[in-house]
Amino acid sequence: MFRWTYAALAAVVGALVIGFATSSLAASSTPRISVSEFTNNFSAMGKLAALAKEGKGKVAAILPDTVSSTRYVEFDQPDIKKSLEAAKVPGGDIIIQNALGSDTTELTDAESDITNGATVLLMDPLDSGVGAQIENYAKAHGVYVIDYDRLTLGGSRKYYVSFNNVRVGELLGKGMVSCISEWHVKKPQLVVMHGAVTDNNATLFYEGYYNHVLAAYFKSHKYVDVQNTAGTWEPEVALTEFEGAITAHPNINAALIPNDETGAPIISYLKSHGVKPHTFPTTGQDATLTGLQNVLSGYQCGTVYKPIYLEAQAAVSLALYLRADKTPPSSLVNGSTTDTVEKKAVASVLMTPEWVTTSNMKSTIVKDNFVPTAELCRGYAKQCKAAGI
């Protein structure tokens, strides 16, 4: 019968302790990052430099278009690049493209990126159809996909990064309610507009502003739901939809519009028809230069501000963990989103949007230098001064 000697027992215990310590050291060597650490100087990304060095392959980002919002060119593209560079990802391992509104281009870009060595794709799908195609192709080639900004319904992505899009819609709805009160609009008669039906975000925005906010006002007859439009992210199409609505219903005196870019031509139409500032409430999203100036001039109640630098850093952080075959920490993956086609939860990083009006433009947009003050106030000096800018 074997008997443990003191020396043998000590040796076993010592080996276990060393093994545990080595395992703990290995586990702790993976850097951790939290969504609360991201700032507009991208300094937090430096924490992931070791992770970037450990990872293999290229990180490719494919943005959808240049029409639905100027954000993709002005913010997403440069902010994704800044995030990768701040994490010390070699320039040769960075690919950033724009599909220019073409499903074919988006799919071809993804296939080409994978052929050229991409191991992670950040993909903002034009629609769920092409998104699912890309994700199936990537999965078959052992490449990770992160849905960026828009969720691919029926997709097979690993993670999703965006803002809380139902909350975005709620801000739009509550902004409209507040504006109707502040601008003293009597008997509000609303046209409720919708984003593109192929964009799941548009569905979530609508859930927020219609189901969670406006429906109660319509039900109580405080407001009248005059017309809902078909939905688009194309500014010219949105204008056509609005013209059709107001021609059929000249009593319309407010418009819930879910995007600055689709709202801009509508506001120009209102101005050309003699509508005065602070009389016809409209809303918007993305805090574009045009949208902010429409807010300053009193034709748009406010805009939903989504600091893209937060979303870009979150997406790149996820990509670097996946590129190094590491599990992202819970301090980064802070929520989940339901894929209504697959009927399952998708692990998500969700940022918090903010409603911006003249009262807080200085403490948000200006503070973050989201839009250069000189550009913002060009031609709007009087309005900027009134807003304390």
- Other residues' Cβ atoms within 10 Å of the Cβ of residue 150: 23
Residues 171-198: tens digit of each pLDDT: 999 999 999 999 999 999 999 999 999 9
d(CA 308, CA 369): 12
Pairing mode of beta strands 303-305, 354-356: antiparallel
Distance CA 62, CA 109 (A): 8
Confidence grade of residue 14 (pLDDT, cut at 50, 70, 90) = very low
Task: Give tens-digit pLDDT for 30-67.
Answer: 899 999 999 999 999 999 999 999 999 999 999 999 98
What are the domain boundaries of the chain?
Answer: 35-163+307-351, 165-306+355-386
pLDDT value for 10? 43
- DSSP three-state, residue 185: coil
Class of domain 35-163+307-351: alpha beta
Domains 35-163+307-351 and 165-306+355-386 share a fold: yes
Q: What does the mean pLDDT of the chain come to?
A: 93
What does the alpha-carbon distance between residue 114 and residue 120 come to, in Å, rounded to a whole number?
A: 8
Coil, helix or strand at residue 340: coil
Query: What distance in Å separates the CA atoms of residue 110 and residue 6, rounded to the nearest whole number?
Result: 62
Query: In this structure, which amino acid lies at residue 276?
Result: K
Q: Which of 23-27, 113-117, 170-174, 347-351 has the lowest mean pLDDT?
A: 23-27
Tens digits of residue pLDDT in 191-226: 999 999 999 999 999 999 999 999 999 999 999 999
Token pair listed for 299: 């034709």
CATH 3.40.50.2300 is held by the domain 165-306+355-386? yes
Residue 206: C-alpha distances to residues 165, 170, 355 (Å): 9, 9, 16
CA pair distance 377, 292, nearest whole angstrom: 10
What's the pLDDT at 67?
Answer: 87
pLDDT digits (tens, 9 = 90+) for 159-177: 999 999 999 999 999 999 9
| CA 97 – CA 104 distance, rounded (Å) | 13
Question: Residue 13 pLDDT more than 90?
Answer: no
